[in-house]
Amino acid sequence: MTSSASVEAARLQPLVDPRSIAIYGASADLTRLGGMPVALLTERGFQGAIYPINPKYTEIAGLRCYPDIASLPAPADVIVIAVAAPEVVGVMRQAAARGIRAAVVFAAGFAEAGDSEGLALQAELVEVARELGMAVAGPNCMGFGNLDSHAYSTFTAIFRTVEPPAAPRDTGLVTQSGSICSAIYAAGRQLGVRFNVVINTGNEACVEFSEYLEYLADRPGTETLVGYIEGLRDGARFERVATRLRDEGRLLTLLKAGETDKGALAAASHTAALAGSGAVYRAMFERLCVVPAHDILHAADMAYLGRFRGRASGPRVAVLTISGAIGALLADAFTQSGIELPELSAPVREALREGIPRFGMVHNPVDFTGNIVNRHQFASQALRALFASGEVDFAVIYAPGFLIDRMAEGLAAVSSASGRLVAAISTGKVTTREALETAGVPVFDDTTRAVRALASLAHWHENRRRHAGTTRTGKPADAPAVARELVRETRLDGERAIDEHRAKHVLAAFGVPVAQERVAVSAGAAVEAARAIGYPVALKVLSADIAHKSEAGGVCLNLGDDAAVQAACAAVLSSVAERQPRARVAGVLVQKQEAPGTELLVGVVRDSVFGLVMTLGLGGVWAELFGDVVHAPLPVREDGVVTLLRRLKGWPLLDGFRGADPVDLAALTRAIACISDAACALADDVDELEINPLIARADGVVAVDALLRLTGEVAAGNAAPGMHETAQGQPA
């Protein structure tokens, strides 16, 4: 553990692993907020000191009750503050004076209220906590449950009504919602999940989600972590701890709210609108091998499967059932979850025929038929044949509970010998469930939940094979001098937006192929540029203020002669003057009319939590109307680009759809990797970078439009007069 991590652990230890607990506002009614911690601590057998504080009582639940904090016989590790919001800061000061350095605040009415009073109360709490050097959980939180030591600083009754797990306890639970915390805990305990620490973070005024996650990751014995988030505040810390868990083979599952975020409504680029926060989180989760939970039960199921993550799994499953219909349903469900049921080879089918009559299926799914009741030992024989073939990664067997019991010894033996995951789904009570789980065989009683969870675990294994050991850190390529100079000039002008021509200069400096083009400040100059480039040409307005030129009437294509260029120049400038009268226009851009190909959008935006993220999609309606895009945190390397592109629904258009020539995939992946390099090298300056379109053809790729916006605020009134101010749309 690093020294900084050690300091963080020392700060959070009194919150998470306290040895003594004070309860300010303790109640003799053990069902009330101030009474529940006392009830839990006494009933569950907490071995540390318990200090109820309330001048109304001399005793609560057989414990001495103190009139105030000053009268405590010793400083507690943590104080539970169970009073109204306006009283909290005063209690914190009294606690600090007695040497208490951690607090759990139940009260609501702080920033979550959304009014000025609540915001002011939370700001004061944060400032006082900083002044006092106090670690404060919440406010507006239900508190913590430490199942290892039975140190409960919480008011939730779930720890009274749901039996705590026995040792060894290996699963941590951290949520930003109290009720979801209780729901996941209850659902997990029904499955036998062995929680060790349960944390509700509340408003995270002083300690945020990723700090708790890191503490639990450092805590000995924690092998699986599950949680609920609405958003993260410290993306760098989260990435650090999630990377560590991934590389150590520990399972992290998160249920994330807000998946339907619309993204930036006033974004300059299409990319920023397409890369909403939900999409960015999903991309980060994949890179970090965080399992995204679909709902509370799925989160609980993944917490359960954390025990079995050491069994090998992957994207190919064998489904074995006693019913052809159930096999078909399971096949559909696994396929829809992205898991393949490979067609079994002839030798494997022949081996299966040794115990399956001719009317039973042996292709996958496998139908044992009712014959298996008389030959239950054949199930393990079938599994051995399947795993020996190397044609599947894991197996699922569906049967009634009594039949699973008969098969249990064989299933356990195959699981142990093969090291592969074997999961059972039963339609009745399985009396051998505990023995199967001990042998590494998870048992489900619901097909839908089983498929979702097992598919998620399979994807986790596959993602780890792809991403384990990778990191976003490291020195990026140095930015070429021309790129640095163009950024510097834009900064000196007090601007954020770099016009298309200069943006393409930046990209070209990193090796991105760009269209041949020239800048013109008059119709005559535009004609000269067109002649030099060679007809046909395209003509576009050149303005850093106009992100979407077509919408402003600022683009004309396929111009074949001088007259067409002159007319287009007048039409473009007139249209822009009418539709974007305040835009500063530096002239027009005359560009070689590129041959048609498959158009792609390649963009990078700066996410407020995770930094630079790339969006890839086919251009036009594919990206915006159909949402056919993929996302990846930077950097994106050449060997990862094809994987991303293959996920697009429009991938066949790149791969030679209906006899068309496939695009030059090597050139395309290289160009996209160069765009990633450009954004990473200029990481401190890039806010948005987009090439739309990047045209891909069999003979290579070319960027024909580009947008680059820098970080920081726009400085008004610093730009030199543009073409509009000198000619008002009339070419000289």
Flag whether 321 is in a domain: yes
- The helix or strand, by DSSP H or E, that contains position 143, with its residue range, turns out to be strand 143-146
Amino acid at 161: T
Q: Is the pLDDT of residue 268 over 50?
A: no
Flag whether 204 is in a domain: no
Together in a domain, 125 and 57 = yes
Flag whether 266 is in a domain: no
Q: What average pLDDT does the segment 562-567 reach?
A: 98
User: What is the model's pLDDT at position 731?
Assistant: 28
- Spell out the SS3 assignment of 448-508: HHHHHHHHHHHHHHHHHHHHCCCCCCCCCCCCCHHHHHHHHHHHHCCCCEECHHHHHHHHH
In this structure, of 246-255, 264-273, 497-506, 579-588, the range with the lowest mean pLDDT score is 264-273
Together in a domain, 33 and 112 = yes
Neighbouring C-beta atoms of residue 694, cutoff 10 Å: 29
C-alpha–C-alpha distance, residues 226 and 198, integer Å: 10
Query: 695 near 597, Cβ under 8 Å?
Result: yes
Task: Say which residues have a Cβ less than 8 Å from residue 71's Cβ, sequence separation at least 6.
Answer: none
Flag whether 234 is in a domain: no
DSSP assigned state of 58 = S
**Per-residue confidence band for 298, with pLDDT thresholds at 50, 70 and 90:** very high
Flag whether 481 is in a domain: yes
Domain boundary among 127, 142, 157: 142
Flag whether 80 is in a domain: yes
Alpha carbon distance, N-terminus to C-terminus of the chain: 69
Mean residue pLDDT of the chain comes to: 91
Distance of CA 112 to the CA centre of its chain: 24
Residue numbers of the domain that contains 585: 516-593
C-alpha–C-alpha distance, residues 161 and 164, integer Å: 9
Q: Is the pLDDT of residue 601 over 50?
A: yes
User: What is the model's pLDDT at position 385?
Assistant: 97
C-alpha–C-alpha distance, residues 213 and 250, integer Å: 13
Task: Say which residues have a Cβ less than 8 Å from residue 578's Cβ, sequence separation at least 6.
Answer: 553, 729
Together in a domain, 675 and 642 = yes
Provide the CATH number for the domain around residue 46.
3.40.50.720
In this structure, of 219-223, 231-235, 669-673, the range with the lowest mean pLDDT score is 231-235
Q: Is the pLDDT of residue 325 over 80?
A: yes
Q: What is the percent of the chain where pLDDT is above 90?
A: 82
Together in a domain, 78 and 11 = yes
DSSP assigned state of 715 = P
Task: Supply 143's token pair.
Answer: 């508190």
User: What is the model's pLDDT at position 474?
Assistant: 59
Distance of CA 607 to the CA centre of its chain: 12
Provide the CATH number for the domain around residue 540.
3.30.1490.20
Together in a domain, 456 and 551 = no
Together in a domain, 620 and 484 = yes
**Which residue in the block uniquely carries the two structure tokens 């959304």?**
114
Domain boundary among 142, 169, 193: 142
Together in a domain, 450 and 505 = no
Flag whether 383 is in a domain: yes
Number of domain units in the chain:
4
Together in a domain, 640 and 690 = yes
Domain boundary among 100, 120, 142: 142
Flag whether 71 is in a domain: yes
User: What is the model's pLDDT at position 7?
Assistant: 67
User: What is the model's pLDDT at position 714?
Assistant: 40
Query: 541 near 576, Cβ under 8 Å?
Result: yes
Provide the CATH number for the domain around residue 428.
3.40.50.261
Together in a domain, 687 and 584 = no
Q: Is the pLDDT of residue 146 over 50?
A: yes
Together in a domain, 391 and 523 = no
Provide the CATH number for the domain around residue 495.
3.30.470.20
Q: Is the pLDDT of residue 379 over 70?
A: yes
Predicted TM-score (pTM) of the model is 0.90
Together in a domain, 330 and 371 = yes
Together in a domain, 368 and 446 = yes
Q: Is the pLDDT of residue 720 over 50?
A: no
